[in-house]
């Protein structure tokens, strides 16, 4: 049992960067996102018996984070209303040089993602970044698959509009 | 396969739905139809694959966070005690012999002995204890040998310069499942670059891995990464030993201040 638990903790440790990325899209704030990840890890470890072996640990963790975010953070309205530019990853390199056009576009995309609704942001990350299927995303977000597609379509349209000149 | 119940929903209508161009009533109808009909969902999925450049851009967003050091409080949260208060069991280190290029401990001892005699002599010139770098036969690193001092006191990526300018460079700090703190390090002498991993025990560091030294330009005194064969081998060993989570600077500083307790 303990060996199994250690395997699980190992897997959990390797997931942390992806959990932080997902949390960042929920909270738009690196400090709150790390709080969210920590709380999710603690909740997961307290409920290890609820995780079904053979199922995806990442999906389970994303679901825990989503629920925590809804239950605690949104209720407490602790999150910021927007993302500080300082919170966004610095893609321009340490000395500000070597900024490629692609990097600027990526940075614009990061800003554009912050313009999405909370539900859309979660979906964008789960489906388009994490590569989850609509069905998996629907399960994580406790949302019908048609709604997933509808929200995703609206998110993509918004992102495309934001990336037009003058959009961001 | 049973025919779709919604063949009357053509691609044009689906595209309009996906582009949010339908009325709210029409959108609700299509949304429900997709919920009920997997074939229709698959058709809609295919239509959503057209804007790959946009998807590629999205996938690149927030990538840097994946490469950032994980905050120590998060890695600590993973290895906290269980809800019953029990510590996780000790996980055995991987069988190192399976990695090409690894120097088994018996051989490693002779390598560390060579390195030790070199650096030990240099420290002797400065009046520092002249014992060898490690107690090679036991595979342990004791105080106040140069490697011990470097591992104890030097932050990662900051060189510890020995008597004649040879360099010990802690590379990173991490924790293995049994709670021990471990450090990857390099030793750069005039003619050799050696790489290894040592883990802290109560009052000494245990040499877990030591790789054969690579040759390097003799005229260079500046730090340069070990390259080629040894680095590949070290990466292979670390893949088995390390869970991918390194301590950040603040956490490492705290460990150094607390003498790795």
Do both B221 and B142 map to the same domain?
Answer: yes
Do both B124 and B17 map to the same domain?
Answer: no
Q: Is A38 on the interface with B (CB under 8 A)?
A: yes
β-pair type (B140-141, B160-161): unpaired
Do both B50 and B103 map to the same domain?
Answer: no
In a domain, residue B81? The reply is no
Nearest CA to CA, how far is B148 from chain A (Å)? Answer: 29
> DSSP string covering A18-72, please?
HHHHHHHHHHSSHHHHHHHHHHHHHHHHHTGGGSPTTS-HHHHHHHHHHHHIIII
CB–CB contact A149 B89 (8 Å): no
Q: How confident is the model at residue B118, as a pLDDT? A: 33
In a domain, residue B156? The reply is yes
Nearest CA to CA, how far is A75 from chain B (Å)? Answer: 23
- Partner residue facing B77 (CB), from A38, A91, A160: A38
Do both B227 and B103 map to the same domain?
Answer: yes
Structural domain containing residue B237: 97-257
Domain count, chain B: 2
In a domain, residue B68? The reply is no
Do both B54 and B162 map to the same domain?
Answer: no
Do both B106 and B191 map to the same domain?
Answer: yes
In a domain, residue B185? The reply is yes
Q: Is A75 on the interface with B (CB under 8 A)?
A: no
Quick one: DSSP state of residue A125?
Answer: I
In a domain, residue B3? The reply is no
Summarize the confidence of residues B243-252 as an average pLDDT: 79
Over residues B145-183, the pLDDT tens digits come to: 778 888 998 888 777 776 656 678 788 888 887 788 888
Domains of chain A: 2-76 (1.10.1740.10), 99-162 (1.10.10.10)
Cβ contacts of A90 on chain B, cutoff 8 Å: 64
In a domain, residue B88? The reply is no
CA B108 – CA A167 distance, rounded (Å): 60
Give B163's Cβ-side CA count (13 Å radius): 18
In a domain, residue B240? The reply is yes
CB–CB contact B73 A147 (8 Å): no
B99: left (phi over 0), alpha (psi -120 to 50) or beta: beta
Most B CBs within 10 Å, among A25, A149, A167, to test the B interface: A149
- Partner residue facing A89 (CB), from B34, B62, B74: B62
Q: How confident is the model at residue B22, as a pLDDT? A: 78
Per-residue pLDDT of chain A (168 residues; tens, 9 = 90+): 466 777 788 788 888 889 998 888 888 778 888 999 999 999 999 888 888 877 889 999 999 998 888 877 656 654 444 444 334 343 333 333 344 566 667 777 777 887 888 888 888 888 878 878 888 888 899 888 888 888 888 887 788 777 776 655
Do both B125 and B215 map to the same domain?
Answer: yes
Choose from A26-35, B56-65, B118-127, B135-144 the range with maximum mean pLDDT. A26-35
pTM of the model: 0.47
Task: Quote the tokens at residue B156.
Answer: 């990662």
CB–CB contact A16 B74 (8 Å): yes
Of B156, B257, B258, B256, the C-alpha closest to B197 is: B156
Over residues A47-87, the pLDDT tens digits come to: 888 888 778 899 999 999 988 888 776 566 544 444 443 34
CB–CB contact B62 A150 (8 Å): no
CB pairs under 8 A between A and B: 143
In a domain, residue B74? The reply is no
Quick check: ipTM above 0.90? Answer: no
Do both B121 and B234 map to the same domain?
Answer: yes
The answer to which of B40-54, B78-92, B124-138 has the lowest mean pLDDT is B124-138
pLDDT at B207 over 60: yes
Quick one: closest CA in A to B176, which residue?
A: A10
Do both B25 and B152 map to the same domain?
Answer: no
């Amino acid at each position: 049992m303990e060996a199994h638990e250690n395997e699980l903790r190992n897997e959990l440790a390797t997931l942390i960067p992806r959990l932080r990325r997902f949390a960042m899209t929920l909270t738009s704030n690196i400090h709150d996102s790390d709080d969210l990840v920590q709380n999710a890890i603690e909740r997961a470890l307290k409920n290890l018996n609820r995780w079904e072996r053979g199922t995806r640990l990442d999906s389970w963790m994303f679901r825990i984070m989503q629920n925590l975010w809804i239950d605690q953070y949104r209720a407490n309205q602790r999150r910021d209303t927007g993302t500080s530019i300082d919170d966004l990853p610095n893609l321009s390199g340490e000395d500000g040089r070597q900024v490629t056009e692609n990097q600027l576009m990526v940075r614009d995309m990061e800003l554009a993602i912050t313009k999405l609704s909370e539900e859309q942001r979660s979906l964008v990350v789960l489906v388009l970044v994490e590569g989850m299927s609509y069905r998996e995303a629907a399960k994580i977000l406790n949302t019908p698959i048609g709604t997933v597609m509808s929200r995703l379509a609206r998110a993509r349209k918004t992102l495309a509009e934001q990336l037009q000149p003058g959009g961001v | 396969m049973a025919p779709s119940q919604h063949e009357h929903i053509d691609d044009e209508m689906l595209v309009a739905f996906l582009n949010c161009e339908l009325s709210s009533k029409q959108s609700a109808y299509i949304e429900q139809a997709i919920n009920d009909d997997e074939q229709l969902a698959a058709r809609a999925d295919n239509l959503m694959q057209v804007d790959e450049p946009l998807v590629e851009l999205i996938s690149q967003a927030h990538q840097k966070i994946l490469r950032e050091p994980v905050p120590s409080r998060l890695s600590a949260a993973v290895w906290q005690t269980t809800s019953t208060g029990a510590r996780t069991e000790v996980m055995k280190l991987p069988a190192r012999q399976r990695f090409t290029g690894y120097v088994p401990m018996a051989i490693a001892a002779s390598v560390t002995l060579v390195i030790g005699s070199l650096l030990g002599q240099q420290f002797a010139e400065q009046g520092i204890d002249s014992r060898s770098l490690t107690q090679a036969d036991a595979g342990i690193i004791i105080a106040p040998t140069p490697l011990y001092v470097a591992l104890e006191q030097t932050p990662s990526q900051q060189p510890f310069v020995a008597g004649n300018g040879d360099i010990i460079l802690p590379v990173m700090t991490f924790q293995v499942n049994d709670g021990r703190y471990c450090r990857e390090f390099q030793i750069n002498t005039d003619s050799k670059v050696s790489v290894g991993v040592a883990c802290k025990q109560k009052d000494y560091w245990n040499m877990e891995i030591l790789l054969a030294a690579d040759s390097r330009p003799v005229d260079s005194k500046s730090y340069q990464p070990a390259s080629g064969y040894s680095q590949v081998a070290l990466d292979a060993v670390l893949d088995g030993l390390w869970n991918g989570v390194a301590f950040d600077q603040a956490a490492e500083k705290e460990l150094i201040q607390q003498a790795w307790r």
